[in-house]
Amino acid sequence: MSCSTKNVPSAIRNWSRSTDNMANSSVATAYPKCKFIRSKTLGIKCLKCDTGELVERVAKKGRRRVFYGCNKYPACDFTTPHLPIPEPCPKCGAPFIVEKRGKMGAIRACLKEGCDWEAVAPGPTPG
């Protein structure tokens, strides 16, 4: 029986990513007796299933990189390593775009299949 069905009160906790893999998560106040953890959503609808929302996750193996995935996993397996931005795509109208960072700078792009929209991300203003 999960704690979410018991209406256990929860609290927002900021844990170190290097130790517990949770950052800004809603955790049951009865932890560690109750292991229920709800991830903080980004408020962006999933591109693949349209019912879930994107949440920040941390890989459990390897270099523990941050990635973004649907909270309906395993029913929906959408993930992206790029930071989602809650702006619609100007070309196809997808619900969000992503910011890809690399050696050449940041680029904003659409992830929707068949859409090839890309633009240089606005940089920090000097001042």
The model's pLDDT over 61-86, given as tens digits with 9 standing for 90+, comes to: 777 788 889 988 889 888 889 989 99
The answer to whether residue 22 is domain-embedded is yes
Closest CA to 67 of 21, 110, 121: 21
Spatial CB neighbours of 99, under 8 Å, sequence gap ≥ 6: 82, 83, 85, 106, 107, 108, 121
pLDDT category, 109, cuts 50, 70, 90? very high
Question: Which amino acid belongs to residue 64?
Answer: R
The C-alpha atoms of residue 88 and residue 2 are separated, in whole angstroms, by 36
pLDDT category, 37, cuts 50, 70, 90? low
pLDDT category, 22, cuts 50, 70, 90? very low
Contact 12, 25 (CB under 8 A): yes
Residue 15 is part of which domain span? 1-38
The answer to whether residue 14 is domain-embedded is yes
The answer to whether residue 26 is domain-embedded is yes
DSSP conformation class of 94: -
What domain count does the chain have? 1
Place of tokens 């009865």: 30
The answer to whether residue 43 is domain-embedded is no
